[in-house]
């Protein structure tokens, strides 16, 4: 099977089309980080800081006091009301042009350029769109209710594909035109958007995707699963559906693999499971070669780890007997889990064990030292999982271990709304 990528629709002033985008002068204020990077208190503070933030729609509990449950029916009704009001007052403009968008993010000098499009829920169901992690029913239910109530997908799914010279060429050509949006968000990331509506370019991109056999979810498994389940629900409610209805597709941004970078996802531990520091170090030496380091250890190749213990840094190198060619067991996060965290420290399920926590690489190695000076006693710095490893796991129909990947920069919500 091949991937089917539906055209998104670019901004125009009068249309009954299902895509809506913010007015150019308001885009910077509307654009918001994904709904799930905030807790409720943080979300309320952000909406108070920027009243136009799309977060007030993605997290409409910010419009209520704390006595109202985050998942109460009136919260989702408020999200729908706010979205409809934003379209009615012109903050968002509906769109009819047959076009793709380009969404480019620049962070610390590194550029990644994606194509905004709607992808088929049938491709998701048939595994043309491949997953690498499980989803939680409670998180799915929240977004299912949000999408179904708002009649809109408000957060794009971060997808990846193997780079294609035709698509790259068409994107490069379109970027020579003036951008629709160009702003820097508070976290220092530049966001730029262009439109591809020239029929020859549109068809060239469509044709190129017809030759791509697999697309991969990089980030946004819960949003994708929720959008698909709403689509299936609407099919059941509309048994005469044709497959062309908007609910058959979900909003995504597709990036070529060559431009993507996964950051390290580090581990901190609350205790040594009863071991003294010296006894634990001896257990580590059974599976790893250990070298003390006078400086922080940021691993520079697969199979190496940094360890911070007793205010000292160590460089660990996995011994050959604990390495594997298996796409899952060979991941560094699996090597550490299977050789140390589970058998020595007793961390059987890192998803649920309160004795372990995870620190995204965006926070830097210094954050591991800080945690070990406050609520933890041990930290491991990791070599990042690669995009090729993610693809290999998904191609094998397997799942990544918990907290294997950390993607930056985060796609903004509110720049593209797919109404269903």
Which residue ranges form the domains of the chain, and what is each CATH number?
5-261+408-419 (no CATH), 265-383 (3.30.1760)
- What residues of the chain score a pLDDT lower than 70? 1-18
pLDDT of residue 137: 86
Give the CA-trace dihedral at 12, 15, 20, 26, to 10 degrees.
50
Please report the pLDDT score of residue 352 as a whole number: 87
34's CB contacts (< 8 A; 6+ apart) are 58, 155, 220, 410, 411, 413
Q: Report how far residue 40's alpha carbon sits from residue 71's, in angstroms, rounded to the nearest whole number.
A: 11
Largest CA distance in the chain: 71
pLDDT at residue 136, as a whole number: 82
For residues 100 and 367, give the distance between their C-alpha atoms in angstroms, rounded to a whole number: 40
- Check if the beta carbon of residue 229 is closer than 8 Å to that of residue 133: no
Strands 5-6 and 110-120: antiparallel
Contact present, 159 and 218 (Cβ < 8 Å): yes
CA angle 353, 224, 104 (to 5 degrees): 105
pLDDT of the residue at 3: 54
Q: Are strands 181-184 and 265-269 parallel, antiparallel or unpaired?
A: unpaired
Give the separation between CA 386 and CA 407, rounded to whole angstroms.
11
Q: Bridge-partner residues for 292, per DSSP?
A: 314
Distance CA 350, CA 325 (A): 23
pLDDT at res. 17: 35
Query: What pLDDT was estimated at residue 13?
Result: 19
The Cα–Cα gap between 195 and 415 comes to: 13
**What's the confidence (pLDDT) of residue 10?**
33
Among 203, 11, 180, smallest CA distance to 96 is for: 11
- Hey, is 97 helix, strand or coil? strand
Of 204, 178, 207, 203, nearest in space to 193 by CA: 178
CB-CB neighbours of 48 under 10 Å: 11
């Amino acid at each position: 099977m091949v991937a089917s990528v539906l055209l998104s629709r670019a901004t125009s002033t009068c249309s009954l089309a299902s895509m809506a985008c913010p007015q150019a002068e308001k885009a910077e204020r509307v654009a918001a980080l994904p709904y799930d990077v905030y807790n409720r208190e943080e979300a309320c503070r952000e909406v108070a800081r920027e009243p136009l933030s799309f977060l007030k729609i993605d997290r409409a509990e910010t419009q209520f006091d704390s006595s109202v449950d985050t998942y109460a029916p009136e919260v989702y009704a408020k999200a729908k009301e706010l979205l409809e009001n934003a379209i009615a007052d012109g903050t968002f403009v509906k769109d009819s042009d047959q076009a793709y968008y380009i969404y480019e993010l620049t962070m610390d000098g590194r550029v990644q350029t994606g194509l905004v499009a709607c992808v088929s829920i049938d491709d998701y169901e048939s595994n043309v769109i491949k997953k690498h992690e499980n989803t939680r029913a409670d998180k799915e239910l929240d977004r299912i209710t949000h999408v179904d109530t708002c009649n809109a997908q408000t957060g794009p799914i971060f997808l990846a594909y193997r780079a294609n010279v035709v698509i790259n060429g068409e994107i490069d050509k379109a970027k020579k035109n003036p951008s629709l949006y160009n702003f820097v968000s508070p976290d220092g990331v530049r966001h730029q958007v262009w439109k591809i509506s020239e029929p020859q370019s549109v068809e060239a991109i469509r044709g190129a995707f017809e030759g791509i056999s697999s697309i991969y979810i990089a980030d946004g498994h819960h949003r994708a699963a929720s959008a698909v389940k709403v689509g299936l629900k609407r099919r059941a409610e509309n048994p005469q559906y044709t497959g062309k209805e908007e609910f058959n597709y979900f909003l995504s941004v597709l990036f070529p693999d060559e431009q993507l970078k996964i950051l390290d996802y580090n581990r901190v531990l609350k205790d040594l499971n009863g071991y003294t520091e010296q006894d634990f170090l001896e257990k580590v030496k059974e599976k790893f070669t250990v070298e003390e380091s006078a400086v922080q250890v940021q691993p520079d190749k697969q199979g190496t780890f940094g360890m911070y213990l007793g205010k000292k840094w160590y460089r660990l190198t996995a011994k050959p007997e604990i390495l594997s060619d298996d796409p899952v067991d060979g991941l560094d996060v699996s090597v550490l889990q299977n050789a140390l965290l589970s058998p020595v420290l007793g961390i059987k399920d890192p998803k649920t064990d309160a004795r372990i926590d995870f620190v995204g690489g965006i926070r830097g190695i210094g954050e591991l030292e800080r945690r070990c000076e406050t609520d933890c006693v041990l930290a491991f710095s990791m070599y990042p999982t690669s995009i090729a490893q993610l693809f290999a796991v998904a191609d094998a129909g397997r799942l990544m271990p918990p907290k294997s990947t950390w993607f930056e920069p985060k796609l903004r919500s509110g720049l593209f709304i797919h109404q269903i």
